[in-house]
Amino acid sequence: MKSTTDLNMVNAYIPGRAEVGPVTAAMIERRDALLGPAYRLMYEHPLHIVRGEGVWLIDPEGRRYLDIYNNVASLGHCHPAVTEAICNQVKVLATNTRYLHDTILELAERLLATVPETDLAHLMLTCTGSEANDLAYRIAQVRTGGTGVIVTDTAYHGFTDAVSKFSPSLGVTVDLGAHVRLVPAPRLYHAEGADLSERFTRDVEAAIADLRRHGIKPAALIVDSLFTSDGILPEPAGFLKGAAEAIKRAGGLFIADEVQPGFGRTGEHMWGFQRHGVIPDIVTLGKPMGNGQPIAGLLATADALAEFGKNSRYFNTFAGNTVSCAAALAVLDTIEKEGLVQHAARVGKLLRDGISELASRHEAIGDVRGVGMFVGVELVSDRATRAPDRELTTRVVNRMRDKGVLLSACAMGHNVLKIRPPLVLSAEQAGMVIEVLDEALTGR
């Protein structure tokens, strides 16, 4: 039986829908018995992966799959600089933040140096982006005395109890908090010529007013700066500024969630919020920081953090350990040495331009958008009405998987192909993505 949560996954494995073979079926049965019913698998025919190498994931038979979905491996799977840093550090020292060590201090200095135009002054480390957003919300509550949170209508900010309450993309089975207000995501493709900056600012101001009307003091506006789960919505640059100013006027904090857009993925700056000319009070970071090693965290202004730091002790046993910090430093070194921000801009443009060219012969492609190594392809059943085509999106995702290219989908209509490859994707590999997408849309 299809569960309610499976309805919210455009590419979920649905038991009984497709023949998976006896070996895979036995592994799925064993997994279900051991891990329980809450986990989900991707694709009609789930993958068994035994090795990762750069942009590739490899199955037991040696078949290689081009991974253009997993942004956590920001430098590609098993990048030698990161694995070497981890191995070298774990042989010397693996301990926590209650002892002095240089690696965490160097990491803080390096990360804060990427935001010189802001008042961001401190780094706090966690293990995951969910933890980072949870911690950011705690800080916002202490700083403002409020609890109200404003997010976009298909946002995802994490899975902790607090953060899941303002992650509407988790679906109707996960209740939103009474202190949460949703605003429409800034969908330029569906804006009918409206001024998105003015509209988004107005919507945030209305949400602030509604919170206050119900006796709820605003604590924060938190947005993924590329609105990833909302459908990858980067344009027009600068539209976030009015909304960020509105929440600050209301006494709340502006939190830029950089878990998915961060670490050079935009091909313009290190962080997605920088393309909007906004000044966050808190910036949250995710596991791309360590290329998959469990390290994440936040950057905060001294003002945002002062009262929380005075009255709350923060300790997270694994977060900020020497091994994770070494991995994160290796990521920063590699982004700089290999020029990966510029590379993301160049190859990302090739990818977008190539997919845009496909739109001339595939009516289902309604919109192609993105920035750097982040591309959204909106599939529609009718270009005139721009109606979402979820069924086609599911078929395309699974056809591409069968042809050796892994991606997924997002947005309220579950109809935007979500392409976020490792930053090291080559021009040749981008060409492979375009070719396979063409074949998947054709039905070949």
Q: Which of 335, 324, 332, 329 has its CA nearest to residue 125?
A: 324
Q: Is residue 27 part of a domain?
A: no
Tokens standing for residue 430: 């981008």
Q: Is residue 28 part of a domain?
A: no
Q: What are phi and psi of 373, to 5 degrees?
A: -90, 50
Task: Give me the number of domains the chain comprises.
Answer: 2
Last residue of a domain, one of 338, 373, 401: 338
What is the C-alpha separation between 379 and 381, in angstroms, rounded? 7
* CATH number assigned to the domain comprising residue 432: 3.90.1150.10
Q: Is residue 394 part of a domain?
A: yes
Query: How do the pLDDT tens digits run along the chain, 444 residues long?
Result: 445 445 556 778 888 788 888 999 999 999 999 999 989 899 999 999 999 999 999 999 999 999 999 999 999 999 999 999 999 999 999 999 999 999 999 999 999 999 999 999 999 999 999 999 999 999 999 999 999 999 999 999 999 999 999 999 999 989 999 999 999 999 999 998 899 999 999 999 999 999 999 999 999 999 999 999 999 999 999 999 999 999 999 999 999 999 999 999 999 999 999 999 999 999 999 999 999 999 999 999 999 999 999 999 899 989 999 999 999 999 999 999 999 999 999 999 999 999 999 999 999 999 999 999 999 999 999 999 999 999 999 999 999 999 999 999 999 999 999 999 999 999 999 999 999 999 999 986
What is the C-alpha separation between 68 and 216, in angstroms, rounded? 41
363, 311: one domain: no
pLDDT for 340? 98
Describe the chain by its helix, strand, coil percentages, rounded to 5. 40, 20, 45
Q: Is residue 17 part of a domain?
A: no
Q: Is residue 358 part of a domain?
A: yes
Segments forming the whole domain that contains residue 344: 47-78+340-442
pLDDT for 1? 43
What is the C-alpha separation between 240 and 292, in angstroms, rounded? 29
Are 65 and 59 in contact, with CB atoms under 8 Å apart? yes
Q: Is residue 10 part of a domain?
A: no
178, 300: one domain: yes
Give the burial string for 115-142 (b: 16+ CB within 10 Å, else e). beebebebbbbbbbbbbbbbbbbebbbb
* CATH number assigned to the domain comprising residue 334: 3.40.640.10
Last residue of a domain, one of 338, 357, 390: 338
pLDDT for 6? 54
pLDDT for 8? 58
Q: In this structure, are strands 405-406 and 64-67 parallel, antiparallel, or unpaired?
A: parallel
433, 321: one domain: no
Q: Is residue 211 part of a domain?
A: yes
281, 374: one domain: no
**57 SS3 class:** strand
pLDDT for 444? 62
235, 171: one domain: yes
pLDDT for 18? 80
Q: What are phi and psi of 363, to 5 degrees?
A: -60, -20
Last residue of a domain, one of 323, 338, 353: 338
244, 132: one domain: yes
